[in-house]
Amino acid sequence: MGQLFISGGSSGLGLRLTVDSLLANEGVTATYQTHPAPLHFLQKRFKSLNAIALDLAQPSPSEDWPEVIDSAILCAGSIKNQLMLKETSDDFADHLKAHLTGNMTLCRALYPRLRKSKNPHLVIVSSRSAYEGNVGQAAYSASRAGLVGFGKTLAREWARAGIKVNIIFPGWMKTRQTIAMPDKIRSDFEAQNVLGHTNTLAEISRFIRFLITTQHISGQIFNLDSRINTN
């Protein structure tokens, strides 16, 4: 039975990964920040689930973490849309701190646990916005772009420990955050996909769970939708 660490495991993609991994009889340490109820509910059924509070703006390793982690999947994040000219420097810096500095500190804590695994993986969930940008997402796009450079650097630095590091662009999907968006925005995202529809949490989870079984893939970016990059 593998041991997985999933940040942002209480909602969206992180929650789907948590459920799928538990159903596969794997041990899961899943983090939450402000929405613990789903994980606490799952703990009643799955004894192999360890739910812990973690604020990415101030992450700190816990004694409750397993000594060996086979795969760490970084899903935690937030979107706070604001036009750049209306965003304060402190707001911008806080966003970068939560996503970039927070994940750097988190990865430092994960490294000694990952290197003890026979087939360690680190999967960083970023966004296509890292390349294309979006109106009102200057801080979000910048932080996601930073995660791409961060992940590719770790792929080189951690290769000597056998840790595979890859980056996921999951595409637009229905989550607690995106489902509140106007129908016009949702239909625009669907129109950008050549298949005429967006991705699902189930398919993204299935892809990531396959990726962490591989032995020779690292330093790659995987676009998990049907939008065609013309850049």
**Please, what are the averages of pLDDT over each run of 10 residues along the chain (231 residues)?**
91 95 97 93 96 80 84 85 73 81 92 97 87 72 89 98 96 67 67 80 96 97 81 55
**What is the reported pLDDT for 136?**
62
| Domains located in the chain, CATH noted | 3-223 (3.40.50.720)
Token pair belonging to 57? 């703006």
The rounded radius of gyration (Å) of the Cα atoms in the chain is: 17
3-7 and 27-32: which strand pairing?
parallel
pTM of the model: 0.89
Bridge partners (DSSP) listed for residue 5: 29, 72
What single-letter DSSP state applies at residue 57? T
**What is the reported pLDDT for 185?**
63
Token pair belonging to 214? 């591989």
**What is the reported pLDDT for 186?**
66
Q: Are the CB atoms for 31 and 53 separated by under 8 Å?
A: yes
